[in-house]
Amino acid sequence: MAEIDVTAVDQRTLKEFVELPYGLYRNDPYWVPPLRIAVKELLDRKKHPFYSNAEAEFFVARQNGRAVGRIAAIVDRAHNKFHSENAGFFGFFDCIDDAGIAEALLRRAREWVTKRGAQFLRGPVSPSTNYECGVLVEGFDSSPMVMMTYNKRYYPGLLEKAGLRKAKDLLAYQSSTTHIDNERIEKVADRVLRRHKVNVRPINKKDFNAEVARVWEVYGSAWARNWGFVPMSREEFFQMGKEMKQILKPELVLLGEVGDRVVGFALALPDINQALKPAGGSLFPTGLLKILYHQRLIKSVRVLALGVVEEHRTSGLAAAFYATLVRNARKLGFGPCEMSWILEDNVLMNRSLEVMGATRYKTYRIYEWS
């Protein structure tokens, strides 16, 4: 058996790390190639604001001189401080179907985080739960929606053979704005809004930075109790907002206000993956034109965030958000919608989606290696 060489990348070999999945998934009809420029920005440890509270190392596995796998080892100080634990993470995991190569990558990542005080390895998160995370374990028959992952069917087996075990499953539900019985939700929503004097409105793109600042103020308290929550710095939050601004529809980004105070936030995005796929990961020479053309044809939407501060959590504001999102999505011509991701043990949310007629169609798994 050929020797497996796992080495940290440098500026010269970073391209090899970035390019590996494009070759691995070249003939896969469901994989969506991310824009290379976006990947490089996310991996830039000197400039991307995620790394102001974290450190990471990127590794490539080679066999007979050929790149056959990759992994990132991550110590997220923001996560560890918030949860009072010493966790290490791995992400950006891709590998050919070879258990030995996968284990070599994972062992190298675990060694790296252990040297920095981590007591266990968890992932994949690329680079945190605020970005793409989880291994797809069910639902391989369709492409992922915006900011969701896709991987080969053999990935779960590789991780489990290496000794990793399930930490938590993340669920994705699908439905359609045309199938949801919005009348009942609307009644609940109207009653809630009147009783609690809550105003639900779309984001104001003309005052975008100030709007993002208002949302950031409630972001921590609205999502703090979620398993795996990682607080983002103001700079990181604004960076993500800047990236989303290019594709968002104001009617699908909702703020809930009591007086002048924002008490909740809901975010749905058009499935830009449908426009990215034809571009093949590059803007030039024709990628940008393809994205602009296909972006006009998008009819699917993903609800990816919905949070309410603690004191208003039982008020029914979440129902008001859902009712408004569905109503606005219909007006904009969107049909298929995904609600993701939802923790497997978030019983209230899962049951609520099922009552609305949504069906679970994909499952993603976070693994742990102690």
DSSP helix/strand/coil, 164? coil
Q: What pLDDT was estimated at residue 196?
A: 67
Question: Domain boundaries in the chain?
Answer: 4-168, 175-364
Judge residue 49's burial from the number of C-beta atoms within 10 Å of its C-beta, 0-12 exposed, 13-18 middle, 19 or more buried.
middle
Q: How many helices (H) and strands (E) does the chain have?
A: 12, 15
Residue 356 sits at φ, ψ, to 5 deg, of -75, -5
Q: What is the pLDDT of residues 183-240, one digit of tens each?
A: 766 776 777 777 767 889 999 999 999 999 999 988 888 888 889 999 999 999 999 9
**61: its two tokens:** 């596995």
Task: Give the whole-angstrom CA distance, residue 109 versus residue 113.
Answer: 6
- Written as six digits, the tokens of 114 are 């252990």
Sign of CA dihedral 204, 210, 214, 216: positive
Query: What confidence tens digit (pLDDT) does each residue in 173-188 have?
Result: 999 887 776 676 677 6
Helix H segments across 197-314? 208-223, 234-245, 273-276, 287-295
Structure tokens at 45: 């440890």
Strands (DSSP E) along 177-322, which ranges?
A: 199-202, 253-258, 261-270, 301-308
DSSP SS3 for 186: helix
- Please state, in angstroms and rounded to a whole number, the distance separating the CA atoms of residues 326 and 254: 12
The domain made up of 4-168 is a member of CATH 3.40.630.30 = yes
Name the amino acid, one letter, at 305.
A
pTM equals 0.94
Q: Do domains 4-168 and 175-364 have the same CATH topology?
A: yes
Q: Are 8 and 59 in contact (CB under 8 A)?
A: yes
Q: What pLDDT does 1 receive?
A: 59
Percent of the chain with pLDDT over 70: 97
For domain 175-364, give its CATH number from 3.40.630.30, 3.40.1380.10, 3.40.50.300, 1.10.3720.10.
3.40.630.30
The residue-averaged pLDDT of 272-283 equals 95
Query: For residue 355, what pLDDT band results from cuts at 50, 70 and 90?
Result: confident
